[in-house]
């Protein structure tokens, strides 16, 4: 998509990113702390990097997409990365915004030396298949503390 820019998440993006996270899931844990969590992610103290996609609309850059990469070492496969919370503003869907975010995530994974990238998805399998991901049948198990 032309005219979009994918860059690192900044603290000041939190108000524009929060509605995207509510779009991603109705089950946001402690929603009153959501913006605070987004701001903390922008400080980047861990093995993760979050990005926003922005588009210039009437001379102002507006955040229209979000997504991140997290990574860690595991014994069997080496450096493993995950896509996290990729979401695009409804008004800008199917214009290649998520594809641009994935290009940046993939480039980072490559620079880091990741041996594989994993993700979970429910409704957007086609998006990831369009970026060469293959389905691996496994059971996702979660122990919830919320
Ligand atoms: C899923 C989502 C991130 C896709 O963003 P997007 O910017 O519209 O995606 P792109 O335009 O880059 O799509 C590229 C290709 O992926 C596929 N694709 C995109 N969205 C898809 C969907 N919902 N289902 C199946 N395939 C999809 C299509 O092949 C598309 O190419 P096409 O438009 O030429 O057919 C966006 O629709 C969204 O935020 N949805 C709600 C949140 C969500 O489900 N996020 C995924 C969490 S795992």
Q: Say which residue the tokens 């102002």 belong to.
A: 60
The structural domains of the chain, ordered by start, are 4-129 (3.40.630.30)
**Can you tell me the distance from the alpha carbon of 2 to that of 99, in angstroms, rounded to the nearest whole number?**
12
At 44, is the pLDDT very low, low, confident or very high (cuts 50, 70, 90)? Answer: confident
Looking at every residue in the chain, the average pLDDT score rounds to 96
Ligand 1 pocket, 124 CB below 6 A? yes
> Which are the contacts of 73, defined by CB distance < 8 A and separation ≥ 6?
79, 80
Please give the number of the atom of ligand 1 that sits closest to the Cα of 101.
12
Coil/strand/helix, residue 112: helix
- The pLDDT of residue 45: 84
Ligand 1 pocket, 40 CB below 6 A? no
- The pLDDT of residue 104: 98
Q: What angle do CA 128, 1, 40 make, to 5 degrees?
A: 65
The pair of three-digit structure tokens given for residue 39, joined into one six-digit string: 């701001």
Maximal CA-CA distance, the chain: 50
Quote the pTM value: 0.96
59-91 confidence digits (pLDDT tens): 999 999 999 999 999 999 999 999 999 999 999
């Amino acid at each position: 998509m032309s005219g979009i820019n994918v860059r690192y998440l900044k603290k000041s993006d939190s108000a524009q990113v929060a509605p995207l996270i509510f779009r991603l899931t109705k089950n946001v844990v402690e929603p009153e702390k959501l913006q605070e969590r987004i701001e903390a992610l922008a400080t980047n103290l861990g093995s993760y990097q979050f990005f926003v996609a922005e588009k210039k609309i009437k001379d102002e850059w507006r955040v229209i997409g979000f997504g991140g990469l997290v990574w860690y070492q595991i014994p069997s496969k080496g450096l493993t990365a995950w896509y996290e919370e990729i979401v695009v503003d409804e008004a800008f869907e199917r214009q290649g915004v998520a594809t641009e975010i994935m290009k940046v995530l993939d480039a980072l994974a490559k620079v880091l030396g990741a041996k594989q990238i994993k993700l979970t998805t429910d409704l957007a399998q086609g998006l990831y298949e369009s970026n060469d991901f293959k389905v691996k049948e496994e059971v996702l198990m979660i122990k919830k503390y919320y």
